[in-house]
Amino acid sequence: MVKDDEQNGQEEDRKDVCRDFLNKVCNRGTRCKYYHPRGDDEDRNGDDFQFCIDYQNQGCYRASCRFVHAPQEEIERYRLNGDISNLLARAIAAVTKADNIQGIPFCKEFQTNRCSRGPRCRYWHVNVDMEREFRNNQPLGASAREYRHPLPQPLIPPAAAARRRPAMDEYAGAAKRPAFMPPTPYAAHDLERENADLKAQVERLQLDLQRERDRCDALLATISQSTAAAAQAAVVSPQQSYHDPYAMPTRAAHYAQKQAGWYGSQN
């Protein structure tokens, strides 16, 4: 016990401890270059997800299956290095009762498909209700070969040291022209979600455009007022400084007549 306490004290005194891991928002797993305290690591690794084997093989025929339906490659990557992709997180969210995955909470703003933080958000961008409804609508006998989510954009920012998947894994061409496959319910579901995201983006752009129009109108009004004031000043100034060339001779003649009359009255 004393050794464990001393070891924990030494771990806490280390300067290279991962702050994201302490705040339960580190998604780099074993690729993180900072130190993960073992006590917290054991708690984080305590999430032992149960994956449906039938779903990987011939298909799952259980109406209320409580296991995770996920592609085999995502499961293998999770078991290899503990990394959870967004695709796997969506499959886990469909069956889990927790409000987080490995200590990282689900983004509350994203439950309405609108997160103000965007790609800077450090929480899971997974719509839990939508994933559960999506899972409940799966037909009996669904398998990983028939129903697969398309790879979405990463909703938790990837680490700088994260490795990209080889291009051949995602864009490998077939040896011959593939046969036409009708769209699956997953594909329609993903298209609806993408359409909703695009509509939300259009609304935000319209609001930005309206703000820019209001700002432009205000600037035009200010310019118009300044122009009118300058024009009025230019019209008033010449009238005040107008010089009549006949004014001085007339005044001089009048003054001369008065002076002559005054002298005449003295005589």
pLDDT of residue 11: 52
Max Cα-Cα span within the chain: 142
Closest Cα to residue 149, out of 94, 190, 101? 190
Q: Is the dihedral of CA 252, 253, 257, 260 positive or negative?
A: positive
Q: Which of 43-47, 91-95, 160-164, 193-197 has the highest mean pLDDT?
A: 91-95
pTM: 0.41
Q: Distance (Å, rounded) from C-alpha 219 to C-alpha 226?
A: 11
pLDDT band of residue 166 (cuts 50, 70, 90) is very low
The dihedral sign for the CA sequence 57, 91, 71, 38 = negative
Q: What is the pLDDT of residues 93-152, one digit of tens each?
A: 888 888 888 878 888 888 887 788 877 888 888 888 888 888 887 777 676 665 555 444
Q: Parse the chain into domains and list their residue ranges.
A: 49-163+198-203
Average pLDDT, the chain: 71
Mean pLDDT is lowest, of 56-60, 124-128, 200-204, 246-250, for 246-250
Q: Is the pLDDT of residue 92 over 70?
A: yes
